[in-house]
């Protein structure tokens, strides 16, 4: 067990609380940097996906986990980012201009979607974002002169300052870099007044407004920031898959994105990354397992069943998600042999109404 | 014009029934059941098995599917939902999404069901009859009549039966209901059973129009706007909402450019929410401090 | 000019008149208490002042600025802070974070600075922290600094909520039943703190309270309400002796 002796207020503002953290995160960083040369093309490509999904996951975590607003429409922001990138690249706009544009356009749409959020709560907000998703998807399919409809758009590899990022390693470093920047930005936000205002809105809107938090501003801001991250991820996603069409950005995709937050652990930045990693790794594991299963079971439905079961099991047994499980493991090791069963046990409870909040 | 009205109402009835399933569960447990559409799909498959593979008559098929689905609904509540009783609503919603994934996947694994699309035979087949200027399709009339009958039965059930009243009490305040001696958990289970039964019924009514396949549950995502338009948690709201969505779709399909039909439901729901943030029949209450 | 003034304030919910043309004035530096039986409309007045409910009639002035038409967060920005009868803390945050949210109205940094965590943000954060630590010292909350609110006992939460309101550096502090749910010892502490807030920090206090011991100990003037209307105003002793007040609490003598 580690005890931290605090000697100054600045200590609480540090990103790394102690030397151990510096060491472990540093080691992780080194491993991630070395990865493309060590693990081969296929796994590097999966790591790229994990980075991309982590960025969306962070955006959703900011919105769902920290501001307490629900969105079932994030695939639409992903789509806006992806299409902006594809269209701008086709018109010869360099990547370092088009990426911010993708983020900004997405943020603007997020801001627009945030406006109804001022009046809507819970399920009504969820349905509004869901409706937004469906409408965006339909517009992308129908606005053929711009988006080429259901036949989709193709993308070329990114050119950055005269360098072509068509190799796996180059694109991987771009994704990794952007993911790191996003994480840093979110962490910075969370230790400043804005992040605290988000948390305040999540826990009690009435109280937050009585403390001087402008609910309208901060809710729309949270939506805009979250959408901006999804937009960045969308632009990267478009380059990753090199072909985009409206079918990639459906409601189901949105729901899958929300599961990142749930699987990883609501309210933890780590959770966004863990959830994203899990979402990418799971299908790989399933396809590995398929060889050992009878043909009837190993059909198209297997993935859906396993995914659903994992979701159910994690929510029932680990409401804090994968990160929560990790925290418990760590506590177990730190306290060994004094860990008690039931240390983290939840109280039995009846439903508390959330209709009034 | 009247023709469209009829088609819209018939379609709206199916939406209304699925929406009713949403609302029943929401009212009692404050959970939005994202698996509602998939329950409907499963009900469709049960009915298909009974009527095509076993050759049972239509009415027996309905009874069988509804009863089987009620059992499935109760089982889901017991196994999956009860452990998370009292958790934040959002968590519980995610769990129902998980249930939906599992149901969709399991159906494709069952021999004889799989990923194929099946037609569902009904005694009303394709007959039509004329009344004045309007041609009534028997199929549509049957859907409307059966929906009306079901709604009437549910009304009587909630109004007069002991269980129905207990369900209402539970939906108002679970803790108080528990103190009054109502077995809240069992009532929740019953509600899931009831809701799944209604879903099966909706599945059977929908099946002739959309065929039976493992993804027919996605229509639940259209019934979702229906429930919201009416105001989540209001039973008459679900019916009205369903009818509105059905009608809007029918008219949008006729008078609007192509593609608009598919998003009409969502445009309507956005418009309604802008004006009334908690639906037409939804209660607006605020927290007391 | 008056420090804080309520004029003909009224609200009706449907057919029920919850508050009916209530007027009163609070002087700078005093502790002014509203008493009355349950359902008299005391908390409703607080919610009207905080603009959580739109008033049906009447006006509210704070340092000669009219509050009507503002939104709740603008009221907070003017320097009016409040606590809640049933505690509205940010449950899933630590005590320290709760108090820091109280500093929200003093924030001066822009979003882009916060995203980059520039030195300006760091300086501002350290300053906020120092201000919060003063409150922590004042209310003796040091040992709970890093605990999650959700796990704290009721009495402590009540103090944390008071601390959060103080962290905003209010000019006017609204306390909604500060002693409700506290044991006699905790109530005693609360009385000390309210006196200190008034004397040491020079904050004007407007309070709703039931405990007459606490009321007579700390308040300078008392307003008695019944059924949404004012029935008496004066020093604690005067109001307690007022026949209309006694009648409101105990009923008419037979």
- Neighbouring C-alpha atoms within 13 Å toward the C-beta of A31: 7
Contacts of C86 in chain B (CB under 8 A): 289
By Cβ distance, the residue of B86, B101, B107 closest to A350 is: B86
pLDDT (0 to 100) of residue C1: 65
**What is the pLDDT of chain A when averaged over all its residues?**
85
Average confidence (pLDDT) over A129-138: 91
Q: Do A128 and B85 touch (CB under 8 A)?
A: no
Range of the domain at C193: 1-79+170-254
Ranked by mean pLDDT, the top range of A124-128, A221-225, A267-271 is A221-225
Q: Which is more confidently placed, A208 or B282? A: A208
User: C219 and C238 share a domain?
Assistant: yes
Give CA–CA dist A304/A321, Å, rounded. 19
Q: Is residue B120's pLDDT more than 80? A: no
**Domain closes at, from C121, C140, C169:** C169
Q: Do A221 and C81 touch (CB under 8 A)?
A: no
Q: Is residue C25 within a helix (H) or strand (E), and if so which, with residue range?
A: strand C16-26
Q: Is residue B163's pLDDT more than 90? A: no
B289: distance to nearest CA of chain C, Å? Answer: 6
pLDDT (0 to 100) of residue C137: 93
Q: With bands split at pLDDT 50, 70 and 90, how would you rate the model's confidence at A298?
A: low
- Which chains are adjacent to chain A, needing at least 3 Cβ pairs under 8 Å? B, C
Average confidence (pLDDT) over B17-39: 84
Average confidence (pLDDT) over A38-61: 92
Q: Do B114 and A299 touch (CB under 8 A)?
A: yes
The 3 state secondary structure assigned to A56-103 is HHHHHHHHHHHCCCCCCCHHHHHHHHHHHHHHHHHCCCCHHHHHHHHH
Residues 21-80 (B) with a CB less than 8 A from some CB of A: 26, 29-30, 32, 34, 80
pLDDT (0 to 100) of residue B210: 74
User: C57 and C41 share a domain?
Assistant: yes
Among residues C81, C68, C64, C74, the alpha carbon closest in space to that of C25 is found at C64
pLDDT (0 to 100) of residue A322: 81
Q: Do B285 and A355 touch (CB under 8 A)?
A: yes
User: C73 and C190 share a domain?
Assistant: yes
- What are the b/e assignments for A51-81, b being 16+ CB within 10 Å? bbbbbbbbbbbbbbbbbbbbbbbbbbbbbbb
Among residues B4, B21, B50, B66, the alpha carbon closest in space to that of B219 is found at B21
Which residues in chain C show pLDDT less than 70? Answer: 1, 252-254
Number of CB atoms found within 10 A of residue A17's CB? 13
**Domain closes at, from C119, C135, C169:** C169
Q: Is residue A184's pLDDT more than 90? A: yes
Q: Is B112 left (phi over 0), alpha (psi -120 to 50) or beta?
A: left
- For residue B130, count CB atoms less than 10 angstroms from its CB and return exposed for 0-12, middle for 13-18, buried for 19 or more: exposed
Q: Is residue B117's pLDDT more than 80? A: no
User: C31 and C105 share a domain?
Assistant: no
Contact B233, B8 (CB under 8 A): no
Provide the percentage of residues in chain B whose pLDDT is more than 90.
6
By Cβ distance, the residue of C88, C100, C107 closest to A204 is: C88
DSSP assigned state of C104:
G
pLDDT (0 to 100) of residue A177: 94
Contact A126, A236 (CB under 8 A): no
Residues 6+ apart with CB under 8 A from A170: A163, A164
- Which chains are adjacent to chain C, needing at least 3 Cβ pairs under 8 Å? A, B
Distance in angstroms between the alpha carbons of the first and the last residue of chain C: 45
For B162, B180, B185, the CA distances from B159, given in Å and listed in that order, are 9, 19, 21
- ipTM entry: 0.89
Residues 6+ apart with CB under 8 A from C50: A210, C72, C75, C80, C82, C174
User: C65 and C182 share a domain?
Assistant: yes
Among residues C242, C225, C240, the alpha carbon closest in space to that of C37 is found at C225
Q: Is residue A295's pLDDT more than 70? A: no
Average confidence (pLDDT) over B111-140: 70
User: C67 and C187 share a domain?
Assistant: yes
Give CA–CA dist A314/A322, Å, rounded. 8
Which of A183-187, A311-315, A350-354, C209-213 is the least confident region? Answer: A350-354
Q: Which of A212, A216, A223 to mutate to probe the C interface, most C CBs <10 Å? A: A212
State which residue of chain A sits closest to C105, comparing Cα positions. Answer: A212
> Residue C68: inside a domain, yes or no?
yes
State which residue of chain B sits closest to C176, comparing Cα positions. Answer: B289
Q: Which is more confidently placed, A272 or A149? A: A272
User: C183 and C250 share a domain?
Assistant: yes
Number of CB atoms found within 10 A of residue C150's CB? 12
Helix axis angle, C95-102 relative to C119-139, nearest 10°?
A: 110
pLDDT (0 to 100) of residue A357: 38
Q: Is residue A246's pLDDT more than 80? A: yes
Give CA–CA dist A238/B150, Å, rounded. 49
**3-state DSSP assignment of residue C89:** coil
Average confidence (pLDDT) over B78-106: 84
Among residues A243, A240, A253, the alpha carbon closest in space to that of A150 is found at A243
Contact C129, A239 (CB under 8 A): no
> Residue C230: inside a domain, yes or no?
yes
State which residue of chain A sits closest to B93, comparing Cα positions. Answer: A123
Bridge pairing between strands A153-154 and A243-244: antiparallel
Q: Do C126 and A204 touch (CB under 8 A)?
A: no
User: C2 and C128 share a domain?
Assistant: no
**Domain closes at, from C151, C169, C187:** C169
Q: Is residue B157's pLDDT more than 50? A: yes
Q: Give yes or no for C112 touching A (CB within 8 A).
A: no
Give CA–CA dist B71/B77, Å, rounded. 10
Give CA–CA dist A51/A54, Å, rounded. 5
Q: Is residue A355's pLDDT more than 50? A: no
Q: Give yes or no for B104 touching A (CB within 8 A).
A: yes
Average confidence (pLDDT) over A156-182: 83
Q: Is residue B30's pLDDT more than 90? A: no
**What is the pLDDT of chain B when averaged over all its residues?**
82
Q: Which residues pair with C82 in a beta bridge?
A: C174
Q: Which is more confidently placed, A353 or A52? A: A52
pLDDT (0 to 100) of residue A356: 43
Give CA–CA dist B152/B142, Å, rounded. 15
Give CA–CA dist A307/B152, Å, rounded. 39
3-state helix, strand, coil in chain C (%, to 5): 45, 25, 35
The 3 state secondary structure assigned to chain B is CHHHHHHHHHHHHHHHHHHHHHHHHHHHHCCCCCCHHHHHHHHHHHHHHHHHHCCCCHHHHHHHHHHHHHHHHHHHHHHHHHHHCCCCHHHHHHHHHHHHHHHHHHHHHCCCCCCCCECCCCCCCCCEEEECCEEEEHHHHHHHHHHHHHHHHHHHHHHHCHHHHHHHHHHHCHHHHHHCCCCHHHHHHHHHHHHHHHHHHHHHHHHHHHCECCCHHHHHHHHHHHHHHHCCCCHHHHHHHHHHHHHHHHHHHHHCCCCHHHHHHHHHHHHHHHHCCCCCCCCCCCCCC
User: C131 and C180 share a domain?
Assistant: no
Among residues A303, A251, A300, the alpha carbon closest in space to that of B116 is found at A300
Average confidence (pLDDT) over A75-99: 92
The secondary structure of A114-177 as a DSSP string is: HHHHTT--HHHHHHHHHHHHHHHHHHHHH-HHHH-GGG-EE-PPEEETTEEE-SHHHHHHHHHH
Q: Which of B26, B87, B98 to mutate to probe the A interface, most A CBs <10 Å? A: B98
Q: With bands split at pLDDT 50, 70 and 90, how would you rate the model's confidence at B214?
A: confident
Which contacts (CB < 8 Å, 24+ apart) does range A278-281 have? A278/A322, A279/A53, A280/A46, A280/A49, A280/A50, A280/A53, A281/A46
Q: Is residue B154's pLDDT more than 90? A: no
The secondary structure of A340-354 as a DSSP string is: PTTTTPPPP-PPPP-
State which residue of chain A sits closest to C50, comparing Cα positions. Answer: A210
Distance in angstroms between the alpha carbons of the first and the last residue of chain A: 39
pLDDT (0 to 100) of residue C192: 92
**The CATH number of the domain where C219 resides is what?**
3.40.50.300
Q: Is residue B283's pLDDT more than 70? A: no
Q: Which is more confidently placed, C251 or A87? A: A87
Q: How many domains, in total, are found in chain C?
A: 2
Vertex A63 angle, CA A59 and A66, to 5°: 110
> Residue C34: inside a domain, yes or no?
yes
Q: Do C76 and A210 touch (CB under 8 A)?
A: yes
pLDDT in tens, C17-53: 888 889 999 999 999 999 988 888 888 999 999 888 8
Contact B80, B99 (CB under 8 A): yes
Among residues B39, B30, B18, the alpha carbon closest in space to that of B224 is found at B18
Structure tokens at C213: 């011991």
Sign of dihedral through CA atoms A173, A175, A181, A183?
A: negative
> Residue C215: inside a domain, yes or no?
yes
Q: Which of A118, A127, A203, A300 to mutate to probe the B interface, most B CBs <10 Å? A: A127
pLDDT (0 to 100) of residue B286: 58
Contact A200, A76 (CB under 8 A): no
> Residue C84: inside a domain, yes or no?
no
Sign of dihedral through CA atoms B150, B209, B122, B50?
A: negative
Q: Is residue B133's pLDDT more than 70? A: no
Residues 6+ apart with CB under 8 A from B135: B3, B128, B129
Contact B284, B275 (CB under 8 A): no
Q: Which is more confidently placed, A11 or C82? A: C82
């Amino acid at each position: 067990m580690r005890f931290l002796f605090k000697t100054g207020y600045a200590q609480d503002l540090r990103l790394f609380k102690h030397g151990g953290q510096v060491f472990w995160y540093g080691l992780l960083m080194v491993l991630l940097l070395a990865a493309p040369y060590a693990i081969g093309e296929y796994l590097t490509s999966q790591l790229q996906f994990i980075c991309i999904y982590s960025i969306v996951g962070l955006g959703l975590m900011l919105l769902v986990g920290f501001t307490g607003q629900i969105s079932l429409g994030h695939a639409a922001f992903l789509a806006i980012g992806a299409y902006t990138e594809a269209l701008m690249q086709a018109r010869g706009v360099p990547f370092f201009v088009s990426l911010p544009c993708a983020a900004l356009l997405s943020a603007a749409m997020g801001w627009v979607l945030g406006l109804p959020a001022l009046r809507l709560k819970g399920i009504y907000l969820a349905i509004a974002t869901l409706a937004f998703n469906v409408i965006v998807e339909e517009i992308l399919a129908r606005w053929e002169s711009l988006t080429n409809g259901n036949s989709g758009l193709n993308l070329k590899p990114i050119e950055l300052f005269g360098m072509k990022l068509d190799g796996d390693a180059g694109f991987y470093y771009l994704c990794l870099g952007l993911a790191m920047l996003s994480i840093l930005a979110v962490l910075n936000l969370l230790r400043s007044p804005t992040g605290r205002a988000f948390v305040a809105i999540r826990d009690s809107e009435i109280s937050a407004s009585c403390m001087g938090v402008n609910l309208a501003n901060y809710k729309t801001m949270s939506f805009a920031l979250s959408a901006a991250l999804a937009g960045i991820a969308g632009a990267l996603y478009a380059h990753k898959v090199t072909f985009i069409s409206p079918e990639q950005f459906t409601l189901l995709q949105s729901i899958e994105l929300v599961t990142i937050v749930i699987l990883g652990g609501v309210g933890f930045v780590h959770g966004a990354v863990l959830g994203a990693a899990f979402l990418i790794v799971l299908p790989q594991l399933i396809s590995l397992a398929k060889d050992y299963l009878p043909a009837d079971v190993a059909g198209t439905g297997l993935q859906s069943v396993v995914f659903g079961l994992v979701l159910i099991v994690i929510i029932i047994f680990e409401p804090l998600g994968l990160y929560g499980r990790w925290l418990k493991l760590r506590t177990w090791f730190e306290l060994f042999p004094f860990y008690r069963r039931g240390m983290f046990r939840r109280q039995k409870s009846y439903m508390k109404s959330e209709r009034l909040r | 014009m009247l023709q469209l009205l009829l088609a819209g109402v018939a379609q709206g009835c199916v939406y209304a029934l699925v929406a009713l399933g949403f609302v029943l569960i929401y009212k009692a447990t404050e959970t939005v059941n994202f698996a509602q559409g998939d329950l409907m799909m499963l009900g469709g498959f049960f009915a298909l098995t009974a009527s095509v593979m076993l050759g049972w008559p239509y009415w027996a098929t309905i009874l069988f599917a509804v009863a089987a689905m009620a059992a499935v609904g109760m089982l889901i509540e017991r196994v999956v939902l009860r452990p998370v009783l009292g958790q934040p609503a959002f968590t519980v919603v995610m769990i129902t999404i998980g249930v939906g994934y599992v149901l969709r996947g399991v159906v494709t694994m069952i021999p004889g069901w799989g990923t194929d699309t099946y037609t569902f035979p009904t005694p009303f087949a394709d007959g039509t009859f004329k009344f004045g200027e309007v041609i009534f399709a028997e199929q549509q009339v049957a859907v409307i009549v059966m929906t009306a009958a079901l709604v009437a039965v549910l009304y009587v059930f909630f109004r007069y039966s002991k269980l129905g009243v207990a369900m209402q009490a539970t939906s108002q305040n679970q803790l108080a209901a528990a103190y009054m001696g109502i077995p809240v958990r069992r009532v929740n289970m019953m509600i899931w059973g009831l809701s799944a039964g209604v879903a099966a019924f909706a599945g059977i009514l929908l099946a002739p129009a959309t065929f039976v396949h493992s993804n027919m549950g996605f229509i639940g995502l259209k019934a979702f706007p229906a429930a919201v338009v009416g105001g989540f948690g209001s039973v008459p709201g679900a019916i009205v909402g369903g009818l509105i969505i059905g009608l809007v779709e029918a008219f949008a399909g006729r008078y609007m450019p192509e593609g608009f039909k598919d998003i009409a439901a969502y445009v309507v729901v956005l418009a309604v929410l802008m004006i009334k943030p908690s639906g037409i029949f939804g209660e607006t209450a605020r927290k007391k401090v | 000019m008056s420090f804080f003034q309520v004029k003909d304030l009224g609200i009706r919910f449907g057919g029920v008149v919850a508050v009916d043309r209530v007027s009163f004035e609070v002087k700078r530096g005093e502790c002014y208490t509203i008493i009355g039986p349950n359902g008299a409309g005391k908390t409703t007045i607080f919610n009207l002042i905080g603009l959580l409910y739109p008033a049906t009639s009447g006006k509210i002035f704070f340092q000669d600025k009219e509050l009507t038409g503002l939104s709740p967060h603008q009221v907070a920005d003017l320097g009016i802070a409040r606590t809640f009868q049933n505690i509205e803390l940010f449950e899933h945050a630590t005590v320290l974070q709760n108090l820091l949210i109280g500093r929200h109205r003093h924030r001066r940094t822009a979003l882009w600075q916060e995203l980059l965590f520039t030195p300006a943000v760091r300086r501002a954060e350290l300053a906020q922290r120092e201000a919060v630590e003063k409150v922590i010292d004042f209310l003796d909350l040091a040992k709970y600094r890093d605990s999650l609110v959700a796990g704290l006992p009721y009495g402590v939460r009540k103090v944390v909520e008071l601390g959060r309101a103080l962290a905003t550096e209010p000019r006017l502090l609204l306390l909604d039943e500060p002693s409700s749910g506290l044991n006699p010892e905790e109530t005693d502490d609360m009385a000390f703190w309210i006196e200190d807030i008034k004397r040491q920090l020079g904050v004007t206090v407007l309070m709703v309270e039931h405990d007459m011991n606490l009321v007579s100990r700390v308040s300078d003037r008392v307003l008695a309400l019944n059924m949404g209307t004012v029935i008496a105003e004066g020093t604690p002793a005067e109001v307690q002796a007022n026949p209309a007040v006694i009648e409101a609490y105990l009923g008419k003598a037979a």
